[in-house]
Copies of this chain bind each other. A is one copy, B any other.
Amino acid sequence: MKIVIDGMGGDNAPKSNVEGAVKAIKEYNVDLIITGDKDILEKEFANYEFDKSKLEIVHTTEIIENEDKPVKAIRSKKDSSMVVALRLVKEGKADAVISAGNTGALLAGGLFVVGRIKGIDRPCLCPAIPNAKKGMTLIADGGANADCKPKNLVEFAGMSNIYAKKVLGLNSPKIALANVGIEEGKGNDLVKKSYEELKNIDVNFIGNVEARDVINAYTDIIVCDGFTGNILLKSTEGVAMSVMGLLKETFLSSTKGKIGAMLLKDDLKKLKSFMDYAEYGGAPLLGVNGGVIKAHGSSDSRAIKNAVNQGIKFAQGNVVEDIKEFIKTMESSEEKE
């Protein structure tokens, strides 16, 4: 097995990517490829001691920037660290790619370079958000598809179910629809129709979940269109950050507050680390012909290392093969109808 890291993607590239690669080699004894400018990468790796036989650097001359238009960038920057990394997966030379670069470009590259699994209409991004039970909840789709049909949400449910089992080790992941109320029959056209279809597939579908309860971990996976998924993810992030900010401000506004905050320093740090996205690695793009893991743009070396671990489990768990099986079952049940 081999995992490839897009060496030049992300706000902290290549430093965090290189350090993350070294940590991953040490911790998982994994064979890695890293794409990017060979000189720059070699210079960075020179700062670390590790088993060099586990690493291959593939030289590339271009970088896809955050400002680049996704589809155009994938098509025109053929020798970018991202496109070359994706191509290595396509060609079977690597089992999974980790990139902290331009999200839109990675989604486009997943589709155009790695390619969709036959039968899958829309691949989905499947990020995790921390929940109040100190675990994580998956969002499928977390932002790849703004407009969806019920068929897409069914695919998201099936694919994220496999990912949760194989990569997160959940036994029978609970799957719920993001909705405006818990009763069946609530919501917009899309969720009403999807509800009906989700009842008929072989996943542990528990019904609707309200946005208020997303953080309460009543469910392992939340299924929704990518627009709703993005709203859920980003509002959770925004509100958590904002409440922490207000808290700080409130504490610093009085002497008593300052003393109290000093006493609570360690506890507050603990709380902040629980809300830390780096802990959870990256978000897989499910439904393409290989492992594609999107790490957060601001990933530090720990986030990159954790994303490599996801890539390893993704490959070991044969997630792609299982998704192919799932879509076959879906197609044969459609034929029967």
Contacts and interface: CB of A to CB of B under 8 A. Distances in A.
A261 B260 CA distance: 7
Contacts of A275: 243
A251 B244 CA distance: 14
Interface string A225-255: 1111011111111111111111100110110
Contacts of A274: 246
Given A261-B264, A263-B260, A211 B189 contact: no
Interface in A255-269: 256-257, 259-264, 266-268
A189 B148 CA distance: 10
Nearest to A244: B243
Interface in A179-238: 180, 187-189, 191, 210-216, 225-228, 230-238
A214 B211 CA distance: 15
A20 interface: no
Contacts of A213: 238
A183 to B, nearest CB: 11
A239 B211 CA distance: 9
A191 B245 CA distance: 30
Contact of A212 (B238, B263, B264, B270): B238
A238 B267 contact: no
A40 interface: no
Interface string A124-144: 000000001000000000010
A238 B232 CA distance: 11
A264 B323 CA distance: 51
Interface in A144-191: 146-147, 178, 180, 187-189, 191
A239 B243 contact: yes
A271 interface: yes
A138 to B, nearest CB: 16
Contacts of A254: 267
Given A146-B188, A246-B132, A261-B260, A240 B239 contact: yes
Q: Which 4 A-B pairs have the closest CB atoms?
A: A260-B263, A212-B238, A211-B234, A146-B188
Give the residue among A250, A256, A257, A263 with the most B Cβ atoms within 10 A: A263
A213 to B, nearest CB: 6
A247 B147 CA distance: 37
A185 to B, nearest CB: 10
A250 B227 contact: no
A231 B178 contact: yes
A296 to B, nearest CB: 13
A243 to B, nearest CB: 5
B257 A263 contact: yes
Nearest to A217: B242
Contacts of A210: 234, 238
Nearest to A269: B250
Contacts of A240: 239, 243
Contacts of A246: 132, 271, 274
A242 B216 contact: yes
A117 to B, nearest CB: 24
A234 B211 CA distance: 5
